[in-house]
Chains A and B, each alone.
Chain A
Amino acid sequence: MASLRKSVDRRTFLKLGAAASGMAVAGCESSEPVASSPQTFELGYRPLGGTGLRVSEIAFGSHHIDRPDLMRAALDAGINAFCTSGPYLDGREEEALAEGMATAGSRREDVVILTGTVVRPGASTTKLLAEIDASLRRLQTDYIDVYYTGEVRTVEDVRVDALYEAFDIARQAGKVRHLGLTSHAGGMQDCLNAAIEDEQIEVFFIKYDFVSYPDLDEILSRAAQQGIGTMVFKTNAGNRQREIEDLEAGGLSFPQATVKWALTNPAVASVAISMSSFDTIRQFTAAAGAALTAPEVAMLRRYAEEMYDKYCRFCGECEQHCPHGVAVADVNRFAMYFSGYGREKQAMRFYRALPAKRSAAACEACVGHCDSGCPFGRRVQTELVAAHRQLSFLEA
């Protein structure tokens, strides 16, 4: 197993913006690399929690990719974890993986396959078992290493009886080995906490970045203690090109740095990357084998500073603090249409369509309960007052 590079104080990193002037990211105070040997390009492998599986630090994310030659190239590069899905591309991703494994001559036990489907409350056990069988046929294999319930958004999505019934039946038949969940929604933390509490999910496959979800490290740490393995995706915190272009000066790669950052967490076994080209495979396998450097940390820090109080995580905390019932997220989105996309008339029309009590008309006279409600320090009330003026065409 590759050594875990955790020279960065991750908790401090996540608190950027809250104390921007006083922030201190360990290793950033000098110009030296955070780790000592950034030229060591060796893809490592990590245990996936208590599953007994070992996965490459970079996983092949196959969303919308049905090229067996890319999958074979990834296997050749040492990537052994493949994240796919039954519904995507009508099953062609799974078929391509089967072909890629066959032409690479891979032994089945050397590849870790994650696949799954979306399971909502009220789902049918019979239908889920049929979906597992369909995935097995497309993958041309006898078993799936990790079968996941996808796009989990609420605690209710975690607690679907049919999922556990179907999984138990399939596991007893040797068709699936471990149960996972994928999530990237605003309420993800609640879902993960519920899964930890229920002790049935063995693998998390989730969104993870250096800007969102400040309590996620603690959740993943608890999950790890319970033997839950974690693989992550979407490490690039919104990937906002406008901010990134300036930050990548000097040959730095923002996406690669975000992957290295995620791998500094010992609870993270692997980062799934959408591998749409041979070049992507080369770049990210090299990135995973290299240490996060001080200039890269500085780049991420600057991005986090830029984004911290601009980046709505859709957590809904502010709306819960509003005594007037203002539709904060909607108002902010309409304001974005107005000022960010030049769709003034459309934004104003949307705003007019809101129920009067959900508009931001009352915000100016309010004391600003929402400001204290935003865990990321966004000046929500100020934004709402400005949005109301803009969207209702009032003079300041």
Chain B
Amino acid sequence: MKLRYMWCVVALGGVLGCGQQESSKPADRELEALLPELSSRAQWSIAEGPTSHTPDNLWEYLDGGAPQYLAYGFEKMIHIRYQLGDDPLASIAADVYDMGSELGAFGIYSSIRPPTAAIRSWGAEGYRSGAVAAGWKGTVFVHVAADDDRPELIEMLEGLMSEILDRVVGSDSPPPVLRPLPPDGLVPHSERYVAADLHGHAALGGGVLAIYEIDGRRSELFFSELESETAAAAALTTVRSERERWTEEVMDHAAAGEAGFRFEDPGAGSGLVVRSGRYVAGVQGDLPLAAQEALLASLTARLP
């Protein structure tokens, strides 16, 4: 399973022009070197770590979350906990991950970024939501959590995010895999790279999704690149059969693609899924059918 995920990362990255990934990894891949010195931060000390984790023992650290990180290509993680004075409940845990590729770092970051989080200019992109912050740059993903949102803890948290990501050598640009997304109507910072099970369909493997808002109504646009046109056709068939089993109404609909179907979901709204070459693309949400067709056509026209 993991190998399949990795193939998706490599395939999407390679075909869509991610050739810069290798060169932008930290030269020595030493995550410890990204951690700041504490000499300038009075009263703070290291309460735990740094400890390191690899794909073999990540599951001992992450409660059920390890497969998610492995799917995005996780290679190594350093965990450290800083404490203010002698108060064990005034601490900040920082996890610094080498995700193996820029796509993996962006992918895991975008998968946890809350839709309403305040975006910050840490690294390529970061956010803070209450006492939690995350960001990415190059192949590195950083997640920092404070015990609560006391000002002194938040100040340290923000300082850590900035300092760690400033030290990362790597690209600040969005991954090339996002390029086919049409710009009109795209909700800023809604783009995600999903390593596996795009839209809940294992047959699609990994892919890209993003939110679009037009006239106050929203839909989610998504696409996945398969190995070949034949594989894309087979994936489309599987997706349709799963939709037929789990949603209320499915019917033929080939607009904006070479083959496809339309469905009505009682919760997530109506949707279209089509095949375009070796891609399977779709849209789902509250937009009217005509707008969904136009959005999907705009996407398929931009696919390589």
Q: How far is the CA of A234 from the CA of B59 in the complex (A)?
A: 9
- Report yes or no: A99 in contact with B246, Cβ–Cβ below 8 A: no
Q: How far is the CA of A233 from the CA of B62 in the complex (A)?
A: 13
Q: Is B201 an interface residue (CB 8 A)?
A: yes
Which residues from 102 to 140 on chain B have a C-beta closer than 8 Å to any C-beta of chain A?
Answer: 111-112, 114, 117, 129-130, 132
- In the assembled complex, the CB of B123 is this many whole angstroms from the nearest CB of chain A, namely 19
Q: How far is the CA of A182 from the CA of B203 in the complex (A)?
A: 32
- Report yes or no: A73 in contact with B246, Cβ–Cβ below 8 A: yes
- Report yes or no: B114 in contact with A92, Cβ–Cβ below 8 A: yes
Q: Is A277 an interface residue (CB 8 A)?
A: yes
Q: Is B30 an interface residue (CB 8 A)?
A: yes
Chain B residues with a Cβ under 8 A of chain A = 1-3, 30, 52, 54, 56-57, 59-60, 63-65, 67-68, 88-89, 111-112, 114, 117, 129-130, 132, 148, 196-197, 199-203, 242, 245-247, 265-268
Complex A-B: 22 CB contacts under 8 Å: A64-B65, A64-B112, A69-B247, A69-B265, A70-B200, A72-B266, A76-B246, A87-B132, A89-B112, A90-B130, A102-B267, A104-B267, A122-B89, A124-B89, A127-B148, A184-B63, A185-B60, A233-B64, A234-B59, A241-B1, A277-B200, A279-B203
Query: CB within 8 A of B68: which of A64, A69, A92?
Result: A64
Q: How many residues of A contact B (CB 8 A)?
A: 52
In the complex formed, the residue of B with least CB distance to A184 is: B63
In the complex formed, the residue of A with least CB distance to B89 is: A122
Q: Is A180 an interface residue (CB 8 A)?
A: no
- Report yes or no: B64 in contact with A234, Cβ–Cβ below 8 A: yes
- Report yes or no: B64 in contact with A90, Cβ–Cβ below 8 A: no
In the complex formed, the residue of B with least CB distance to A278 is: B242
- In the assembled complex, the CB of A11 is this many whole angstroms from the nearest CB of chain B, namely 25
Question: What residues on B are CB-neighbors of A314 within 8 Å?
Answer: 57, 60
- Report yes or no: B63 in contact with A336, Cβ–Cβ below 8 A: no
Query: CB within 8 A of B64: which of A63, A72, A238?
Result: A63
In the complex formed, the residue of A with least CB distance to B64 is: A63
Q: How far is the CA of A346 from the CA of B76 in the complex (A)?
A: 13
- Report yes or no: B246 in contact with A336, Cβ–Cβ below 8 A: no
0 or 1 for each of A227-267: is its CB under 8 Å from B? (1 = yes): 00000011000111100000000000000000000000000
- Report yes or no: A68 in contact with B132, Cβ–Cβ below 8 A: no
Q: Is A225 an interface residue (CB 8 A)?
A: no
Q: How far is the CA of A185 from the CA of B59 in the complex (A)?
A: 10
Query: CB within 8 A of B242: which of A87, A233, A274, A279?
Result: A279
In the complex formed, the residue of B with least CB distance to A280 is: B202
- Report yes or no: A279 in contact with B112, Cβ–Cβ below 8 A: no
0 or 1 for each of A11-41: is its CB under 8 Å from B? (1 = yes): 0000000000000000000000000000000
Question: What residues on B are CB-neighbors of A233 within 8 Å?
Answer: 64
Q: How far is the CA of A224 from the CA of B1 in the complex (A)?
A: 35
- In the assembled complex, the CB of B188 is this many whole angstroms from the nearest CB of chain A, namely 18
Which residues from 87 to 126 on chain A have a C-beta closer than 8 Å to any C-beta of chain B?
Answer: 87-90, 92, 99-100, 102-104, 120-124
Query: CB within 8 A of B267: which of A68, A184, A186, A276?
Result: A68
- Interface centre among B201, B266, B267, by most A CB within 10 Å? B267
Q: Is A164 an interface residue (CB 8 A)?
A: no
- In the assembled complex, the CB of B92 is this many whole angstroms from the nearest CB of chain A, namely 14
In the complex formed, the residue of B with least CB distance to A346 is: B30
